[in-house]
Amino acid sequence: RYIVGQGRAKRAVAIALRNRIRRLELPEEIAREIAPKNILMVGPTGVGKTEIARRLSQLVSAPFIKVEATKFTEVGYVGRDVESMIRDLVERSVQMVKQRKIEEVREEASVRTRERILDALIPPRKVQEKVSDFMHIFSGQPQKEERIPTEEEERAERQRLSTRERLGRMLDEGKLEGREIEIEVSESAQFGIPVMGGPGMEEMGMNIGEMLSGIFPKKKKRRTVTVETARSILEAEEAEKLVDHEAAAQEGLKKAQEEGIVFIDELDKVASAGGGHSGPDVSREGVQRDLLPIVEGCTVNTKYGPVRTDHILFIAAGAFHKMKPSDLVPELQGRLPLRVELNPLTEEDLARILVEPEHSLVDQYKALLSTEQVTLSFSEGALKEIASLAARMNRETEDIGARRLHTMMENLLEEIQFEAPDLSGQNVKIDDGLVRERLERLVADTDVRKYLL
């Protein structure tokens, strides 16, 4: 449905994800002992390494984060330490849980929002102010008795309720969307306090800011907006009030711990050729050694609480065209026990990628041009020719896999996309002759080729 070929890699990731679901069904004593089998994907760029992990995580709604190994430095150097990937994963997981809980209370938030909009359109009757209990105790003033409303006031109140009901019906029918109203929204004060420190300190500034914003009362700000805009603002505010953020944070923490997936890309870029121990190789090996406890299982402190990494699934990937997986430190190789090799894409694979996946490249270009009332179509021969030329360029220059198809399609449709406004209402058919005319010179011209992706 999404990824063509690479059956072995898809199977390995699918088994790893299924085993996590199986583990959750087991008694706690044995479930605690079952660790995920981390995966190392080896294959050239553009063959689907990242896409396989990303798509499967979406299908199972698991917290997923993709990081580049080259972004991290070993402890003691300027840069992000490897623990920050776990903190990012927890943050992603908590946000996923909060979003789900917001959707669950959306209906109630919508009802409350409707009442607030009606209050802005027809303000409620002001009840005579009462002296607070606090003032009674300390001032000794007697509590004022509530005055019985007069007949005229009761008639005015009935009229107000009738008008409110009529406006409510108009609101439900969408007849008031453009009317401007004045609403009062909460505005929490932001305290950005930068904090310098060692590993794990990067979130401290945020935490101190959150603590201070919790101490000070939220400011109220009056805004004049349309009913349509007010609905989205107030609905978000009401949903936030209805969600138990503490429970969401704890659930998100547990979800990250039990179901989280960390995809570490470009792992080959931190490998040291021949086990070098000088210059940049020292820092690269330091990053690998910092990864060891994270992948093996340790406790990482986050702003939501400590999280264990024992059952987080790690999927590492790299092209390894200059390095070999054996150039990684042996301990890290041992913590990535499943090694899956992804094959370079063949001409047949490229032809299938053009049309088979959901929202394929051909479908995307058809949809884009349909907005200009241009109907785009491709003959079978044209698709085969595009795939053939892409495969040839991958063989004769750098092999960038399926990404080559983007280059081919852009060059093929450049003129049509530019002239699309003048082609409105027309059918444009791409055949193999047009493909050869537009693209063959790119493949044949060596001087041009070196500037292409």
pLDDT tens-digit map of 110-123: 999 999 999 888 87
Q: d(Cα 270, Cα 292) in Å, to the nearest integer?
A: 13
Contacts 24+ apart (CB under 8 A), 188-194: 188/213, 188/218, 188/219, 189/213, 189/216, 189/218, 189/219
Is 135 part of any domain? no
Which pLDDT score is estimated for 215?
Answer: 59
Residues 305 and 422 in one domain: no
In a domain, 133, yes or no: no
Residue 321, token pair as written in the block: 């065209």
Q: How far, in Å, are 376, 429, 433, 434 from residue 372 at the CA level?
A: 11, 16, 25, 22
Output the pLDDT for position 131. Answer: 40
Is the confidence at residue 207, as pLDDT, over 80? no
Residue 396 lies in a domain: yes
**Same structural domain for residues 31 and 86?**
yes
| pLDDT at residue 190, as a whole number | 47
Both 119 and 233 in one domain: the answer is yes
The whole-number pLDDT of residue 193 equals 47
- b (16+ CB within 10 A) / e for 193-210: eeeeeeeeebbebeeebe
User: Contact 255/93 with Cβ under 8 angstroms?
Assistant: yes
Total domains in the chain come to: 3
Query: Would you state the pLDDT for residue 185?
Result: 83
65 within domain boundaries: yes
Tell me: do 162 and 267 sit in the same domain.
Answer: no
335 and 351 share one domain? no
* Domain final position from 242, 268, 296: 242
Final residue before a domain boundary, out of 209, 242, 275 = 242
Q: Is 277 found in the same domain as 180?
A: no
Asked if the structure places residue 168 within a domain, the reply is yes
* Domain housing 414: 347-444
**Domain of 260: which CATH number?**
3.40.50.300
pLDDT band at 106 (very low <50, low <70, confident <90, very high): very high
Q: Does 443 score more than 90 pLDDT? A: no
Contact status, residue 253 vs residue 304, Cβ threshold 8 Å: yes
For residue 48, being part of any structural domain is answered with: yes
Please state, in angstroms and rounded to a whole number, the distance separating the CA atoms of residues 195 and 200: 11
For residues 79 and 116, membership in a common domain is answered with no
Domain assignment of residue 449, yes or no? no
Write the pLDDT tens digit of every residue in 359-415. Answer: 899 999 999 999 999 999 999 999 999 999 999 988 888 888 999 999 999 999 999
pLDDT at 280 over 70: no
Distances (CA, A) of 320 to 75, 203, 265, 276, 413: 25, 34, 11, 16, 34
DSSP classification of residue 72? B
Please indicate, yes or no, whether residues 264 and 192 belong to a single structural domain of this protein: no
Q: Are residues 66 and 162 in the same domain?
A: no
Answer whether 33's CB lies under 8 Å from 81's CB.
no
User: Which is more confidently placed, 425 or 60?
Assistant: 425
Q: What is the CATH number of the domain that holds 375?
A: 1.10.8.60
